Structure 1
Amino acid sequence: MRLSLGCRVGYAEEIGQQKLESRGLMFSKLSAFPNQKWFQVTLLTVAGMLAFIAISWAVQALFAGDANAGRPGLLSGYVLPLLFIAPLLALLGVKLHENALLKQKYAQELAHDSLTSCLNGTLFSAAIDVFATGTGRRKGALLMVDIDHLKRINEHIGYSAGNQAISVIAGIIRSTVRSGDLVGRIGGDEFGVYLPGASKENAEKVAERIRHAVSEVLFEPSGSNWPLTVSVGAVLFETEATADDLLVAAEHQIQIAKEKGRNRIESTRLSDGRWPSRPSLH
C-alpha cells in the first residue's frame, strides 16, 4: 500500500513508535548477551578455586597427625590452588575474547539486512537523524529506490528469483554511491540512499546512475531474461530535516513516478514542510 500526503502525520508517528520499540529490543539483547558468559566463567573460576583449596586442606588433615593438621601450609594451601587457578584465568581470557567477537557479530547481524548487507530500516533512519539534525553541515539528499513489479517476479518465477533481484539491485546501489553515503533496506522492495552534503546535481547523477544500471543489468532467473527497473524518489534539503520528513516526502515522489509509468526519477526540495514538485529527471 502506497503512502498519500493525507497520512503524513500518522505515518510519521507509526515509524517513530516502531523505531523506538526496535531500538529498545536491539539494545536490550546486546546488553544481556555478554552477562551470561561473564556469569558462567566467573562461577567456574570461583568454584574451582574453592574446591581445590578445600581438597588440599582435607588431604593435609588426613595424612598429617599433629595438632596443626587443620592448618595448611603455604605451598599446599595457597600456592598449589593458585597454580590450579591459572588455567582457569586463561580460560576466562579466552571466553571474554570469544564473547567480544560474538557480540560484534551479533551487532552486525542486528544492524544489517541479511539478504542485501544494507543497513536495516531502523538504523538507517537513526543514522539519518544523526546526520540531518545534528550540528554542522545539514545539506544533502535522500533517494528512495523502489523495485518495479517485484510482485510479478515473485508470482511468476518464485520468491527465490525475487530475492535474487533484490540482491542484485542492492549490489548496484552500493557500488554506485560514495563510501560516506548510507544505503539501507527500508522495505521489502524499497531502498533508501542518504547522500550527506550532496547538491542537486550530485543527487540527480547518483539517481540516474542507479536507474540506468538497473535497467541495463542482465537478469536471467530460470534461464529466461527478465527486465529489471526501479523508480526513484529524490528529496533535496538544505535545512534541518528528520528521517520521517525525508522518507514521507520521498515516498510521495515514488507514488508520482509510479503513476507516470515507472522506471523514472521524480524529485522535490524539502523546505519548511513544503514539497514543490520538480520535473522528472527521466
Structure 2
Amino acid sequence: MSAAVFFLAVNFLIAICFSAVFAVVSVYSRSRLAAQFFSAGFAVASLTAICELGVAYSTIPVPWAIGVYGTVLAGLVFLQMGIAALYGRPVPIPVAVITFLAGMTAYLVIIDVPPGSLLHRLAYQGPYALVMLAASASVFMSNRRLAIDRALAFLLLFTGLHFFVKAWLAVTIGAGNTARDYVSTNYAVISQSLTAVAIVAVGLMLLAVLALEIMAEERDHAERDSLSGLSNRRGFEKGVRLAMLGNGNRRHALILCDLDHFKSINDTHGHHGGDMVIRSFGGMLRSHAGAGAIVGRIGGEEFAVFLPNTPPTVAVVVAETLRTGVKTMVIAGMPADFIVTASFGVAGISLQESLEEAMRKADAALYDAKRSGRDCVRQAAEAPAEPFDGRNGLHVVK
C-alpha cells in the first residue's frame, strides 16, 4: 500500500466519523439544519477516497476522476451551506446547485488539458477555494463575535487559501501527467496530508461551535423559568451579580413583588388560570421594568426586578408603575371583570451591601406591604436624611 493510498483510507474514515457525529449532534442542536448539512458534506466527501482508488486501479479512469472532483466539490458546498445557515446567512438551494454546476463545468472544460501549467491547476483548485472563502466570509460578516467564531473564520480562510497553495505545489513537485499517475506521486502524499489536516481542523472547530451552542442553550434552560419566560432564581442572581460587577461602584435598586391572593386564583379558576396569570404578569414586568432591568421569577408567585444604576426613590416610581400595570392586565380566558393586584417591596443596594442583604431588606418591605393590606409599595429605610417612619423602620409609599 502506497503512502497516498494510506492517507486516502485515513481521510475516508475521518470523513465517515465526522458525518456520523454531526448526524447525532443534529438531534440535540437548535442549529439542526446546519448540523445536517455538515453531516451530508462529510458523507459525500468520504466518497472521494473511493473515487481516487477507482482512478488508480480502474480500466476506465475518467468517470472516477469526475467523481473525485464532484464529491470534493459537493462536500465543500454542503459545508458552506451549513456554515452559512449556522451564521444566519443561509444559501438558497438554487444558488448552491448553480455553484456546484459551475465548478463541475469548469472542471470538464479543463479535463483534457495537459495538467502541467499553473493556470490549469488554479482552474482545478479554484472552485474549491472560492467555496471555502465564501464560507469564511459568512462567518466574518455575521453578528457572532465569540473567539471561537473568529477562529473558525480564519481557519476557513486558511483552508480556502491552501487550495491555491496546492495548485502551486502540483506544478512545483509534479502531480503526474494523468489522473492515474496522481496516486503514485509525492504530491499526492502531501495533498492528502494537507486535506486530512484540513478535514480534522474544520470538523473539530465546527463541532466545538455546535457543542458550545448546545451548552449555552442548556444553561439558558437551567436558568430560565419555562412558565413566565423570565429568569429563574438562579439565573436572576447570576445576572444581577454580573451587572453589579460590570457597573463598578454605583448604587442599584431591587424590587420584590408578590401576586396577591394567588391561592384563591388557583382555587377559583384552576391551575391553568393561575398559569395564565403568572405568564401575563411576567410579560408585564418585562415590558414595564425598563431597559437594562433584570427580571426574574424567584418563587411560586414571587418575582424580582433589579434596576442597575438606579436610586431607591426612582425604583419606587417604577414599582408604582408596575403596580398599576398589574391591574390593567388582560388575561386570556379570564372574565372581563377579573383584576389581579400585587404587592411590592423596594430596597436600595449600597456599595457595601451584597445581593443577599438587599433581598432581605426588600423582602421585609414586601412583607410590610402584605401586612398593610396588599396592592401597595413599601420601601425599606435607606438613609436618615430621607423621611423615616420610626414605628416600623420603613418608608411608606402608597
TM range (shorter): 0.5 to 0.7
Asked if residue 160 in structure 1 is aligned to residue 268 in structure 2, the reply is no
For 1:84-103, list aligned pairs within 5 A.
92=203, 95-103=207-215
Which structure: greater helix fraction? 2
Asked if residue 278 in structure 1 is aligned to residue 394 in structure 2, the reply is yes
CA distance in 2, matches of 1:231, 1:188: 14
Assess if the C-alpha contact under 8 Å between 2:256 and 2:344 holds in 1.
Answer: yes
Computed over aligned residues only, the root mean square deviation of the Cα atoms, in angstroms, reads 4.4
Deviation (angstroms), 1:198: 1.2
Q: Percent identity?
A: 23
CA distance in 1, matches of 2:217, 2:347: 34
Deviation (angstroms), 1:236: 1.8
Partner in structure 2 of residue 257 of structure 1:
369
For 1:1-282, list aligned pairs within 5 A.
73-74=184-185, 78=189, 92=203, 95-132=207-244, 136-219=248-331, 221-223=333-335, 225-270=337-382, 277-282=393-398
Instruction: Give the length in aligned residue pairs.
Output: 233
CA distance in 2, matches of 1:135, 1:198: 11
Q: 1:239 to 1:97 in 2, by over 3 A?
A: closer
Assess if the C-alpha contact under 8 Å between 1:144 and 1:234 holds in 2.
Answer: yes
Deviation (angstroms), 1:73: 2.8
Aligned residue type for 1:139: R
**What is the TM-score when the length of structure 1 is the normalising length?**
0.65
* Residue segments in structure 2 that go unaligned for 5+ positions in a row: 1-27, 30-37, 58-182, 384-389
CA distance in 1, matches of 2:269, 2:216: 37
Deviation (angstroms), 1:97: 4.3
Aligned residue type for 1:268: A
Deviation (angstroms), 1:257: 1.1
Q: 1:91 to 1:163 in 2, by over 3 A?
A: farther
CA distance in 2, matches of 1:214, 1:117: 17
Q: 1:196 to 1:270 in 2, by over 3 A?
A: same
Q: 1:218 to 1:127 in 2, by over 3 A?
A: closer
Q: 1:134 to 1:222 in 2, by over 3 A?
A: closer
Aligned residue type for 1:176: H
Give SS of 1:161's match: helix
Deviation (angstroms), 1:234: 0.4
Assess if the C-alpha contact under 8 Å between 2:364 and 2:380 holds in 1.
Answer: no
Aligned residue type for 1:103: M
Give SS of 1:256's match: helix
Aligned residue type for 2:393: S
Deviation (angstroms), 1:192: 0.8
* 1:214-239 CA distance string (max 9 Å, x none): 01223353545422011000012333
CA distance in 1, matches of 2:207, 2:393: 57
Assess if the C-alpha contact under 8 Å between 2:365 and 2:394 holds in 1.
Answer: no
Deviation (angstroms), 1:263: 0.5
Greater RCO (Cα-Cα under 8 Å, separation 6 or more): 1
Assess if the C-alpha contact under 8 Å between 1:111 and 1:119 holds in 2.
Answer: yes
Assess if the C-alpha contact under 8 Å between 2:312 and 2:347 holds in 1.
Answer: no
CA distance in 2, matches of 1:133, 1:270: 22
Assess if the C-alpha contact under 8 Å between 1:112 and 1:118 holds in 2.
Answer: yes
* 1:132-173 CA distance string (max 9 Å, x none): 477723312100011111111222212111111111111111
CA distance in 1, matches of 2:209, 2:350: 45
Structure having the higher Rg? 2
* Residue segments in structure 1 that go unaligned for 5+ positions in a row: 1-32, 35-40, 62-71
CA distance in 2, matches of 1:96, 1:159: 42
CA distance in 2, matches of 1:73, 1:134: 61
